Amino acid sequence: MSKITRVLLASGDLAPHVSLSVELIRHSDKDRVTILWPARPTSASAAKFPELISVITRLLSNAGLELARIQAANGRQTS
């Protein structure tokens, strides 16, 4: 049985007690990126909505940058 390794690419709070995480799941020769969305819907006032979108965008962007850093350090693309 092959080992599964989880690498946290990015994580952050969307609201109190609500977080979003992005992980690289390494299993044998198949690497996958998993977005762990909140278990419940996240609501925001119309005034706070742009801030919420900014946080989500920043988290996903940071995850992409971290994945690129990992790929460069490994000298290859993840599969």
pLDDT in tens, 31-46: 999 999 988 888 899 9
User: What is the mean predicted confidence (pLDDT) over 61-69?
Assistant: 96
10 Å CB burial of residue 59 (0-12, 13-18, 19+) is buried
pLDDT tens track for 10-26:
999 998 889 999 999 99
pTM of the model: 0.83
The token pair at 4 is 């599964």
For residues 26-58, b (16+ Cβ closer than 10 Å) or e, as one string?
Answer: beeeebeeeeeeeeeeeeeeeeeeeebeebbee
